[in-house]
Amino acid sequence: MGCDGGTIPTRDELVRLKKKPEKKDRDAELGAKWKHCAITQEPLQQPIVACELGRLYNKESVLEMLLDKSKFECAQSFDHIRGLKDIKELQLTDNPSYTSKADVGDSYVDRQSSPYICSVTGLEMNGRYKFCFLLGCGCAFSERAMKEVKSEVCHKCGRTFERDDVIILNGTDEEVEALRSRIEARRQRAKMEKKAKRKHKLEAAEGQAGSSKHTKSDTTTATKQTTSKSTNGKADGDKTKVEDEMTKLMRRQIQKDPKASAVYKSLFTTSEAALNQPKPHWITHNPQYY
């Protein structure tokens, strides 16, 4: 069973084997997650922000995506970022031994060093160690520091926090799903708190309106009582009628007063000159008649 020239084929040449799946370069994968923005894949630059799922972004790229999502093809995978309230600016600790300069020669050797470290343990933030940050203050630490120093106070700024506020950076798929469920629970809790505040405000406003109505009713009843006392039980309409009758009587008495002059009596409509004066009718109207 030879070929041309008397060569004998091997099994690899005759049998087609299944291709093994290509393995991802771990260093390249870590560098893409921990040194580049999750939206634009550009190198991370200050200010660096993180979402509630633990992904790292440049703040500038997040603002561009919020302004116009049509520019980014992957905008659908970041629907959980609805505004600036859904991201947190990270308070990172600089690595004093980090240098971005190339080694001796023209080539650059990536030594997997990170520009940021944990302020408690000194571990580099390069993906080889788990890191997390706090939603309240944005301080980032290694998971080892959170386990070794068990406290409900931030190790860097001294602010208190809860365990639900600890967000793992660039976690596994299972950790991301757990964080997603926590986001939904947190948003539902915020909605319930808003509804409770609105209900409390409405109840307070209704209480104030009720008290003002009671005071108004009290004042109206008091004024009615005073008017009834002053008029001896008569209504306001009766009072005005009585006043009109009194004025008419006074004018009639002026016409009968012998001491009053004729000129003074002519000023009133009850005088003889005013009564004998012709009145205007509906056909013609003379303005000199009144």
Q: Is 58 helix (H, G, I), strand (E, B) or coil?
A: strand
Q: What is the pLDDT of residue 172?
A: 86
Tokens of 214: 């009671």
| Spatial distance between the Cα atoms of 57 and 258, rounded to a whole number of angstroms | 107
Tokens of 284: 């013609």
Paired residues of 168 in beta bridges: 132
Q: With a cut of 70, say whether residue 162 has pLDDT above it.
A: yes
Given pLDDT bands bounded at 50, 70 and 90, which one contains residue 164? confident
> Under a CB-based contact definition with an 8 Å cutoff, are residues 35 and 118 in contact?
no
Closest CA to 125 of 161, 90, 164: 90
Tokens of 275: 């009564």
Q: Is 96 helix (H, G, I), strand (E, B) or coil?
A: coil
Q: With a cut of 70, say whether residue 29 has pLDDT above it.
A: yes
Sorted by where each begins, the domain ranges of the chain are 25-98+112-171
Given pLDDT bands bounded at 50, 70 and 90, which one contains residue 49? very high
User: pTM score, two decimals?
Assistant: 0.57
Length of the chain counted residue by residue: 290
Closest CA to 27 of 97, 133, 109: 109
Tokens of 180: 């997603």
Question: Helix, strand, coil: what percent of the chain each, to 5?
Answer: 45, 10, 45
DSSP state of 122: -
Counting residues of the chain whose pLDDT is more than 70, the rounded percentage is 69
Please give the average per-residue pLDDT across 173-195, as a whole number: 87
Report the chain's mean pLDDT, rounded to a whole number: 76
| Spatial distance between the Cα atoms of 143 and 177, rounded to a whole number of angstroms | 19
| Spatial distance between the Cα atoms of 66 and 75, rounded to a whole number of angstroms | 9
Given pLDDT bands bounded at 50, 70 and 90, which one contains residue 32? confident
Tokens of 269: 């409509």
Pairing state between β 140-142 and 166-168: unpaired
| Spatial distance between the Cα atoms of 37 and 29, rounded to a whole number of angstroms | 13
Output the CA torsion 242→243→245→248 (10° steps). 170
Residue at token pair 């788990």: 130
**Which residue would you say has higher pLDDT here, 73 or 66?**
66
| Spatial distance between the Cα atoms of 113 and 198, rounded to a whole number of angstroms | 51
CATH of domain 25-98+112-171: 3.30.40
Least trusted range by pLDDT, from 195-204, 218-227, 264-273? 218-227
